[in-house]
Amino acid sequence: MTRYGLRARVFTLTLAPTLIIGLLLSAFFTLSRYQDLEHQLISTGTSIIEPLAISAEYGMTDKNREAVRRLISYAHRKHSNIVRSIAVFDAHNQLFVTSNFHRNFEALMYPPDKPIPPLLETELRDNALIMRAPILTEGQFGPHADPSLRGTPLGYISLELDLSALRLQQYQEVFTALMVLLLGLTLSSLFAYRLMQDVTRPISHMVSVVDRIRRGHLDIRIEGRLLGELDTLKNGINAMAISLSEYHVEMQQSIDQATSDLRETLEQLEIQNVELDIAKKRAQEAARVKSEFLANMSHELRTPLNGVLGFTRQMLKTRLNPSQQDYLLTIEKSANNLLTIINDILDFSKLEAGKLLLENIPFDFAESLDEVMRLLAPTAHEKGLELTLKVDDRIPPSLIGDALRIQQVLTNLIGNAVKFTERGNIDVTVELKSDKDDEGIELQFMVRDTGIGISERQQAQLFQAF
């Protein structure tokens, strides 16, 4: 919400121009009237004092005070409504004659050190206007008339005009201007009120309707016929309300449909989850049965197989011809391979069951590595590959751990390198990465070959089932 409402803005914008223009015009015309009245008074005073200055030349030349008094007294009586006093001073700035008694003639006199000016002068003092005009000789009067003295000041006349009537008339002009301004403001207020009735009231009603629509009352409408653009605005708001109502209905239907679909989907997902849970349990049960079967079968197969290996080795200790010894060696090799496969199957079943345990026994680390290298060296040499082993000197010769698992991992890694390398060499490196004293040591095994390598896509799938 703004600080000022629409009504206040309309009222202000309607009255402000009228007030400003009225004040400017009133000030202009009042000031002009002020100046006109002052100029008019000065003109009236000029029309009084200048003829007196000319007429007083004869009396001043002959020092005839009575003639000059009659002259200024007549002028005073004739213009008594504006004239306060008329005084005549000689060339020595001494009072010569006055039209009436004046308590302070110094206000009408020129300053003693100031010469009589040759032209008419005016001076505004308090509530009076003082005019002074020189009395100049023309050299035409008196027994000793001398044309060479023309223009010489004989004295001057001071005329004091009353400004009370002028001020009253000026105040009347100001009052008239204020009345006209007040009348203009009154008319503007009436027009502004009418404008607010025709414009702001419908707009306020529209604002109220829009606010109710915003709060969710979509069935409300603006009734009645308005003027011009307001009627267009009303129709637009009603159309907007209708569109919002229709959209609300469509949206509600869509929400209901989506809710129904979601409910059905959730029910289907619940059914599928139950089915998946049942299938999972069945699969786990099948895996458990399979693991148990593999473990049992492995144990069952290892027992007779160990018997075969034992008797084969015993027979190899007897006197045999070459053919018999070759047969027995083949049987021993095949039995060892079969025993390895059975052990792998048993380890796999243990992995699936999560029961594979690593041994923690002392073993000769170098001997374990040599066994792996001796096992894979013949295959590498058959392909013309060079198989090398480099062991960090800092690694102790005797360690505690699971030598069999280390050999299995290395056998798989080196075996893959031999399998996918056609020529070149295969380097096996074992480094001491960290020595944690009592906690143990950390080793790093690296197998580097000159084979085809593994692409980035295949590297991402390296530890996934295939």
pLDDT, one tens digit per residue, over 400-412 is 888 888 888 888 8
Using a 10 angstrom Cβ sphere, with 0-12 exposed, 13-18 middle and 19 or more buried, the burial of residue 411 is: middle
CATH 3.30.565.10 positions along the chain are 360-460
Q: What is the mean pLDDT of residues 341-360?
A: 73
Q: Is the pLDDT of residue 389 over 50?
A: yes
Choose between 398 and 173: higher pLDDT. Answer: 398
* Distances, alpha carbon 240 to alpha carbons 206, 254, 422, in Å: 12, 20, 79
Q: What is the mean pLDDT of residues 441-446?
A: 91
Mean pLDDT of the chain: 80
- Residue 386 has a pLDDT of 92
C-alpha to C-alpha distance for 227 and 119, rounded to whole angstroms: 71
C-alpha to C-alpha distance for 46 and 49, rounded to whole angstroms: 5
DSSP 247-300: HHHHHHHHHHHHHHHHHHHHHHHHHHHHHHHHHHHHHHHHHHHHHHHHHHHHHH
Q: Which of 191, 181, 158, 154 is nearest to 10 (CA)?
A: 191
Q: Is the pLDDT of residue 446 over 90?
A: yes
Q: What is the mean pLDDT of residues 133-142?
A: 70
Strand, coil or helix: 111: coil
- Residue 447 has a pLDDT of 93
- Residue 444 has a pLDDT of 92
Cβ-contact 88, 98 below 8 angstroms: yes
Q: Is the pLDDT of residue 459 over 80?
A: no
Give the tens place of pLDDT for each residue, 164-206.
777 777 778 788 888 888 888 888 778 777 777 777 777 777 7
Give the tens place of pLDDT for each residue, 31-74.
777 777 778 878 888 888 888 888 888 788 878 888 888 888 88
Q: What is the mean pLDDT of residues 378-388?
A: 89
Give the tens place of pLDDT for each residue, 227-261.
677 777 778 888 888 888 888 888 888 898 999 98
- Crossing angle for the helix pair 403-419 and 365-382, to the nearest 10 degrees: 20
Choose between 70 and 307: higher pLDDT. Answer: 70
Strand, coil or helix: 121: strand
CATH superfamily of 360-460: Histidine kinase-like ATPase, C-terminal domain (3.30.565.10)
Residues present in the chain in total: 466
Q: Is the pLDDT of residue 226 over 50?
A: yes
Q: pLDDT grade, residue 388 (50/70/90)?
A: very high
C-alpha to C-alpha distance for 149 and 147, rounded to whole angstroms: 5
Strand, coil or helix: 217: coil
Q: Which fold has domain 6-170?
A: Beta-Lactamase (3.30.450)
Using a 10 angstrom Cβ sphere, with 0-12 exposed, 13-18 middle and 19 or more buried, the burial of residue 138 is: middle
Q: Is the pLDDT of residue 415 over 60?
A: yes
DSSP 369-395: HHHHHHHHHHHHHHTT-EEEEEE-TTS
Residue ranges with strand state E in 337-456: 361-364, 386-391, 398-401, 425-435, 441-449
* pTM beyond 0.85, yes or no: no
- Residue 353 has a pLDDT of 64
Give the tens place of pLDDT for each residue, 209-219.
888 877 877 77
C-alpha to C-alpha distance for 42 and 418, rounded to whole angstroms: 132
* Distances, alpha carbon 356 to alpha carbons 30, 344, 346, in Å: 115, 12, 10
Cβ neighbours for 60, distance < 8 A, ≥ 6 positions apart: 68, 88, 90, 96, 135, 154, 155
Q: Is the pLDDT of residue 1 over 50?
A: no
415 strand-pairing partners = none
| Ordered strands of the 83-90 beta sheet | 95-98, 83-90, 153-162, 128-136, 121-125
Q: pLDDT grade, residue 147 (50/70/90)?
A: low
Of the chain, the percentage scoring pLDDT greater than 70 comes to 88
Structural tokens at position 133:
């005009």
Q: pLDDT grade, residue 391 (50/70/90)?
A: very high
- Residue 144 has a pLDDT of 46
C-alpha to C-alpha distance for 445 and 76, rounded to whole angstroms: 138
CATH 3.30.450.20 positions along the chain are 6-170
